[in-house]
Structure 1
Amino acid sequence: MMRKSAADSNLHGLADAELERHRWAASVGDVGSAWWALERAHIVSQSDLLLHLRVHVIMLVYALRTADLREAGGQLLRLALAPLGTLSGRTPIGNSGRARVDPFAPMPIPGDLRRALEEAGG
């Protein structure tokens, strides 16, 4: 049985907090805030393959739930690309994971997430 490192647990905790923020925003119909939280969860998840895939699946489901077919298509593409990027260590750091952005483009990491990732060891 493989044990998670403290850094892995901390990354999962950060991602889970953002996914909870997404669930709350989605439950009250705040689509913008729901996507914002998913983008932040994506940034946090990029170094962990299973977590990264989980976030993209949640993004796909939310795109379908909000009838955003362009986003859903983009998430299908990213689900195919995520294993390659994560396993090769070549994920574009800070990328929001949305269909409207280049899947290969690095993006600035929000300051609060950067600090949390540094503290988490990620």
Structure 2
Amino acid sequence: MMRNPPAEPNLSSLVDAELERHRWAASVGDVGSAWWALERAHIVSQSNLLLHLRVHVIMLGYALRTADLRETGGQLLRLALAPLGTLSGRTPLGNTGRARVDPFAPMPIPGDLRRALEEAGG
């Protein structure tokens, strides 16, 4: 009997996987890994406005929980910019979405995410 191939991941499931990684890291107090997972979720979410905004809201919440004022301000700015970038198609691909990086600068996409995005059609 032939089995169906596994379903290709979609953007939402890719974002959800990174957000789960974030939640786990945050729950054990690993701030660096928690932000790393959020950055990856941001990279994956950029082509979809709702996912993109969702990730920035979560980034803002984490900045507030960690009392990071610079990041809080950066996330507020990015929440305002995300719709413009996504809707105009000018989102800087690969950008991690953090306050410490230029919001308009494209950045390299990690190889594993690039492959996952290609499989998802993103």
TM-score of the superposition, structure 2-length normalised?
Answer: 0.93
SS in 1 for 2:56: helix
Q: Quick one: which amino acid aligns to residue 47 of structure 1?
A: S
* Segments ≥4 residues shifted beyond 6 Å: none
Q: Quick one: which amino acid aligns to residue 24 of structure 1?
A: W
Q: Quick one: which amino acid aligns to residue 43 of structure 1?
A: I
Alpha-carbon displacement from aligned partner over 1:40-69 (angstroms, at most 9, x marks no partner)? 000000000010000000000000000000
Equivalent residue, structure 2, for 1:70: 70
Number of aligned positions between the proteins: 116
Matches within 5 A, 1:3-18: 10-18=10-18
Question: How big is the shift at 1:23?
Answer: 0.2
Question: How big is the shift at 1:11?
Answer: 0.3
**d(CA) in 2 for partners of 1:10 and 1:114?**
13
**d(CA) in 2 for partners of 1:22 and 1:72?**
17
Equivalent residue, structure 1, for 2:54: 54
Equivalent residue, structure 1, for 2:97: 97
TM-score of the superposition, structure 1-length normalised?
Answer: 0.93
Question: How big is the shift at 1:100?
Answer: 0.0
Q: What is the RMSD computed on CA atoms of the aligned residues? A: 1.2
Q: Quick one: which amino acid aligns to residue 54 of structure 1?
A: R
SS in 1 for 2:22: helix
Equivalent residue, structure 2, for 1:88: 88
**d(CA) in 2 for partners of 1:117 and 1:60?**
24
Higher-Rg member (1/2): 2
Q: Quick one: which amino acid aligns to residue 67 of structure 1?
A: A
Q: Which residues of structure 2 form unaligned runs of 5+?
A: 1-6
**d(CA) in 2 for partners of 1:47 and 1:112?**
17
Report the structure, 1 or 2, having the larger helix content.
1
Equivalent residue, structure 1, for 2:113: 113
Equivalent residue, structure 1, for 2:4: none
